[in-house]
């Protein structure tokens, strides 16, 4: 079983899309661990705030299968294939880590934004504080501690999980 870390984000009906994504992820992956939910300003464009979180899970799928699964879940929830990168979205699901794999193909792992987006690093540091980044060899807790927190506005929020997602 591979341990994977997944970034989830949404700024279009974000509460319902995050809940739906977690239910779908629970159908495909084992042992989901959820970070807190964080609200952040849109990065790279003017838009409504995003809700973001990181999920850890276990899987027997290959990297390609995991990414394909994520793309299908995004599309099932209204994500338009080929839409602009910096734009509002119903759901954004990204594979951050797949064990300690370092690769450029089929996707970049570890995902570069771990090191520069607070909305990825803070929730990752929350659920995997002592895990080390496979390239920079520092713990996520240490990386978050050293992060310039003035770069991006981000704050944890109370999130009302529905009964369906509490069993994950």
Give catalytic residue positions: 79, 89, 92, 94
The β-bridge partners of 15 are none
Q: Which of 37, 24, 1 is nearest to 126 (CA)?
A: 37
| Inter-residue contact 51 to 9 (CB < 8 Å) | yes
| Inter-residue contact 89 to 77 (CB < 8 Å) | no
Neighbours of 24 (CB within 10 A): 19
| Inter-residue contact 106 to 64 (CB < 8 Å) | yes
Q: Which of 81, 77, 73 is nearest to 55 (CA)?
A: 73
């Amino acid at each position: 079983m591979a341990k994977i870390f997944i970034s989830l984000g949404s700024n279009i009906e974000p509460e319902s899309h995050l809940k739906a994504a977690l239910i779908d992820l629970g159908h495909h992956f084992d042992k989901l661990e959820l970070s807190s939910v964080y609200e952040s300003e849109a990065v790279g464009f003017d838009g409504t705030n995003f809700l973001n979180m990181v999920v850890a899970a276990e899987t027997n799928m290959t990297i390609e299968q995991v990414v394909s699964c994520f793309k299908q879940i995004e599309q099932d929830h209204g994500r338009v294939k080929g839409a602009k990168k910096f734009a509002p979205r119903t759901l954004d699901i990204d594979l951050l880590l797949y064990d300690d794999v370092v690769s450029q193909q089929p996707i970049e792992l570890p995902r570069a934004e771990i090191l520069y987006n607070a909305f990825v690093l803070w929730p990752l540091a929350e659920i995997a504080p002592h895990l080390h980044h496979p390239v920079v060899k520092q713990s996520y807790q240490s990386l978050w501690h050293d992060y310039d927190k003035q770069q991006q506005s981000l704050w944890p929020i109370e999130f009302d999980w529905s009964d369906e997602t509490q069993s994950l």
